[in-house]
Amino acid sequence: MNPIRKLAFVVNADKDGAARLARELVAVAEQAKVKLKQTSRFPLPRGWLKGWDACCVIGGDGTLLGVARESAREQVPIIGVNRGSLGFLTTFSADEARADFAALLGGAFRVTHRAMLDCSTGPGLHDLALNDVLIKDEVNSRLVRLEVFADGELVTDYICDGLIVSTPTGSTAYNLSAGGPILHPDSQVIALTPICPHTLSNRSIILDENVRLRVSNRADESRLLVAMDGQRNLRVSAHSSVEISIAKLRLPLAQRPDYSHFSVVRSKLGWSGGFAGKK
């Protein structure tokens, strides 16, 4: 990749060691004569990344999700440095960032483009999600009855605690916790995973990424809440539907040249039978 000459930092100061690590990386960037700016505010305001070469996010996956929409709109790659817990999106550890940051500034990284979801709940009610869209009742204790259509064809109706519509990137987030499948981030699909369905045969459904979904509320006494990446909510009027499709915009995410998705999954989820890597 081209060298980074203008770098923005987003630092979650609430994460242990994030501020100290930011100071170390800023010093490396200053030595390389890179133009810098920094904020601890996220989600980012519209236009904050316009004209910048890359954005270094120091925190957890939640911090990165707060930057994702602006990054996608401006097509500015995110360098995610993990100071949270699992960190599937913040793919650089603190030690890797310290060791490799000068090389990263010189262009020693590759960019992958992650699919995002475009969700609308009515005129003017529109948002993007990198991980998932969660559809549930406004009152947490209530069941929902949802009718799902794919390209106008009825898929099924669900009686459940909620429905997760997930990208491949988001498959290791709420989707995984709800019993959904792990999807490779390059797979061109969408996953539908019901939460605690009342029909035992209701399981995750995998659909082509070109599909256009429509989810309707079939319980007259309830109102739906639509959560975008667990951070932002869209409300749905009593008789409106939720429209979901893959967005035209994709998130540019910086990774090490030797990045391995399966290596990350094995490490983060503690997978090991004692034979991995042996011949």
Given 61, 132, 137, 229, the catalytic residue:
61
Cα(45)–Cα(182) distance, integer angstroms: 32
Structure tokens at 237: 């009027």
Sheet strand arrangement including 189-195: 205-208, 189-195, 162-166, 132-137, 224-228, 232-235
Which amino acid does the sequence have at 34?
V
Q: Which residues pair with 252 in a beta bridge?
A: 113
Q: Which residue type is seen at 20?
A: R
Is 161 one of the annotated active-site residues of the chain?
Answer: no
Closest by Cα among 102, 78, 101 to 90 = 78
Active site amino acids: 61
